[in-house]
Amino acid sequence: MQTYFSDLLVIGAGLSGERIAVEAAGAGFGVNVLSIVPARRSHSSAAQGGMQAALGNCAMGKGDCPDVHFADTVKGSDWGADQEVARMFVDNAPIEMRQLAFWGVPWNRVVPGKSTFFKGGEKFEKIEEEDKEGLITARAFGGTAKWRTCYTSDGTGHAVMCTLDNRCAQLGINVFDKKEAIALIHDGANCLGAVVRCLKTGVLEAYVARATAICTGGFGRIYKATTNAVICDGGGHAIAMDTGLVPLGNPEAIQFHPTGIVPTDILVTEGCRGDGGTLLDVNKERFMQIYEPEKAELASRDVVSRRMTEHMRAGKGVKSAYGEHLWLDIRHLGDKHISTKLREVDEICQNFLGVDPRVDLIPVRPTQHYTMSGIRTNKDGAAYGLKGLFSAGEAACWDMHGFNRLGGNSLAETVVAGGIIGKKIAEFLQGHEVNFPTKTIRDALLKQQSRIDALIAGKNGRENVYRVREAMQDALMDGCFVFRNGKDLEKCVNVLQEVMERAKAVGLQSSGIGANPELSAALKIQGQVKLALCIAKAALERKESRGSHTREDYPERNDRDWLKRTLAYWPEGARLPRLEYEDPTPYYELPPGERGYGGGKIITADAEKIAKLTIKPGAKPAEAAKAKTAN
């Protein structure tokens, strides 16, 4: 058995993982990074849009500052965000973008002079200032008051990923690829590393470390329809939950996007609808105006997803070998518009569907897109429940997104949080001593080896892992997708509990030798069903509608009873998660109010309680604490 030691073990080599690694290595600590795929293939590299940071360099971003960014983020979160965290994020984002520029990201820059842009199909003019020439520029994104999204053409994630991975190579950080963590090693109080399966040889190895950071991204793949890469399967969340000590924050907070293409659920941009594209049903008729007379196709992501689902439920969906879908029609926009303004959509249609959007309709359906949910951490990125365990990025519930994430805030979070939390981990490592009992390490390894042996021998049963996974995905799609209600959620929970019994009885059909993919799937299926049950059970309990969580039977946002964060624990041997709740934020810089879009009734919180927790806008955490004591 091979054992590797380092000060810090980072599980996941996407942007947040590598950003943490760079920070800790820069402070002089030894870092090992694990990745299921070569680092640059991480899902971070698929992000196209950009990163929000209030630099205020471009004409349409004039007057922008962290305070405006803060307000957008908190409103966007439907007041589910931790405002102390959101403040740290917006204040650090501009510095982080500059640091990335220094390391080599080719951000697009301000070009002075007159230029035109489109908004709602209309043409406008803007003039970029001479004295801003060559500074980092920005583009517009939904839900933001200013143009704030820094970008590199349509490949921001890829460009930043290359830069950070280069930085890792420069610092000599070991990035081990094709390695999958299948369990955490811990002594009940301290996290000591992970048991890792090599995806080249199938051999188990131990990676021990004084601190461990889980940065494995979202878990969209537990849904059947998702925009996520195939590696975003919840593996990191599962090993944290398996300890029984670490909770998942807000599992019910899952974001859906209206236009994933069928069959592969690759995203086509919101720009299609923004530029005048329409949604059609099985009869090739428009329907959005029936539900949303004013905004029609231009309603927000969550609203359009809901209406599409409703329409398909009413029997107006198009049947296909891959399930029901609707049509997106951009034919009328014409060749010129499609080949210039929607080039990427054109390429996706041609490459993956063999469809020409000038003459053909595009098959689309609402699709899982982002998990606001994640491993619950405090503002330093330290996970609840185990000392020495950290998490950042989409894998974590840090929690700056609350119940709805704004475009451009996810990619920015990966690096900004990675930088902040990397620093905190370095501080932690300074003063942290821990024992590594060889027995604890050996026991952890033997436990995983016996799991593998049992799966290969079919000792638990002969269930097919792919059929079980399908049953889990179907249950979530049926009961816990865009719309939720008490009846369907209860059914979903029940079905998933049956699926869990089947997951426990999985046995391999193949030999399991080497980098066997069936074994990879089998090792994580129980963890995935646990995650699914956390989502369904937390959604069943949350009797209100907030952000992406929409209850048909409780349509109002209920601040009186539900201004709180869900914590889902999975004690060993339990059949359901244990749910606890905590306040979403230590104080309010921005007290709960209307978001300014999306509508909906609000049941207000106790005004006195909110007033007590409210601090002066822009006050820093330290001042806030002082203000609180003074009160």
Partner 1 sequence: MARNLQFEIFRYNPQDPASVPHMQKYVLDETENMTLFIALNRLREEQDPSLQFDFCCRAAICGACAMVINGRPNLACKTKTKELPDEITLLPLPVFKLVGDLSVDTGVWFRQMYDKVESWVHTSKAFDPAALEERMDNAVAEQVYELERCIECGCCVSACGTARLRPDFLGAASLNRIARFVVDPRDQRSDKDYYQIIGNDEGIFGCMGLLACEDVCPKGLPLQNQLGFLRRRMGITALKRLFK
Cα Rg of the chain, angstroms: 24
Burial class of residue 134 (count of CB atoms within 10 Å of its CB; 0-12, 13-18, 19+):
exposed
Residue span 89-108 as binding mask against partner 1, x where in contact by CB under 8 A, dash where not: ------x-xxx-xxxx-xxx
As given in the structure block, the two tokens for residue 583 are: 């306040």
For residue 321, the minimal CB distance to partner 1 (Å) is 4
- Closer residue to partner 1 (CB): 282 or 579: 282
Tell me which residues in 299-328 interact with partner 1 (CB under 8 A).
320-322
- Closer residue to partner 1 (CB): 368 or 558: 368
**Which of 273, 307, 405, 469 is flagged as catalytic?**
273
Closest CA to 79 of 373, 315, 399: 399
* 201 belongs to the binding site for partner 1 (CB under 8 A): yes
**Which residue is listed with tokens 């403040």?**
87
For residue 163, the minimal CB distance to partner 1 (Å) is 8
For residue 406, the minimal CB distance to partner 1 (Å) is 22
As given in the structure block, the two tokens for residue 89 are: 């994020």
Question: Total residues contacting partner 1 (rule CB under 8 A)?
Answer: 75
- Closer residue to partner 1 (CB): 24 or 229: 229
Tell me which residues in 506-535 interact with partner 1 (CB under 8 A).
508-511, 513-518
Residue span 23-52 as binding mask against partner 1, x where in contact by CB under 8 A, dash where not: --------------xxxxxxx-xx------
For residue 571, the minimal CB distance to partner 1 (Å) is 32
Tell me which residues in 266-305 interact with partner 1 (CB under 8 A).
266
Do residues 318 and 326 touch, judged by C-beta distance below 8 A? Answer: yes
Cα separation of 421 and 581, whole Å?
Answer: 24
Q: Which of 2, 170, 430, 438 binds partner 1 (CB under 8 A)?
A: 170
Cα separation of 622 and 581, whole Å?
Answer: 25
Residue span 106-145 as binding mask against partner 1, x where in contact by CB under 8 A, dash where not: xxxxxx---------------------xxxxx--------
Query: Which DSSP category does 126 fall into?
Result: E
Do residues 81 and 400 touch, judged by C-beta distance below 8 A? Answer: yes
- Closer residue to partner 1 (CB): 107 or 436: 107
* 229 belongs to the binding site for partner 1 (CB under 8 A): yes
Q: Is the dihedral of CA 617, 621, 626, 631 positive or negative?
A: positive
Tell me which residues in 345-404 interact with partner 1 (CB under 8 A).
348, 351-355, 363
**β-bridge mates for residue 294, sequence order:** none
Do residues 551 and 484 touch, judged by C-beta distance below 8 A? Answer: yes
Interface with partner 1 by CB under 8 A: which range of 153-161, 291-299, 450-458, 585-593? 153-161
* 455 belongs to the binding site for partner 1 (CB under 8 A): no
* 167 belongs to the binding site for partner 1 (CB under 8 A): yes
Q: Which of 142, 202, 591, 600 binds partner 1 (CB under 8 A)?
A: 202
**β-bridge mates for residue 209, sequence order:** 6
Tell me which residues in 565-624 interact with partner 1 (CB under 8 A).
none
**Which of 19, 139, 197, 257 is flagged as catalytic?**
257
**Does 369 participate in catalysis according to the annotation?**
no
For residue 397, the minimal CB distance to partner 1 (Å) is 24
As given in the structure block, the two tokens for residue 485 are: 């209600």
**Does 551 participate in catalysis according to the annotation?**
no
Cα separation of 521 and 55, whole Å?
Answer: 44
For residue 173, the minimal CB distance to partner 1 (Å) is 11
Tell me which residues in 71-90 interact with partner 1 (CB under 8 A).
none
Give the contacts of 139 (CB within 8 A, at least 6 positions apart). Answer: 49, 50, 147, 149, 151
Peptide bond into 617 cis (omega under 30): no
For residue 362, the minimal CB distance to partner 1 (Å) is 11
* 458 belongs to the binding site for partner 1 (CB under 8 A): no
Burial class of residue 155 (count of CB atoms within 10 Å of its CB; 0-12, 13-18, 19+):
middle
- Closer residue to partner 1 (CB): 159 or 328: 159
Do residues 248 and 539 touch, judged by C-beta distance below 8 A? Answer: no
Residue 464 sits at φ, ψ, to 5 deg, of -85, 125
Measure the CA angle with vertex 443, ends 437 and 444; round to 5°: 95
State the catalytic residues. Answer: 257, 273
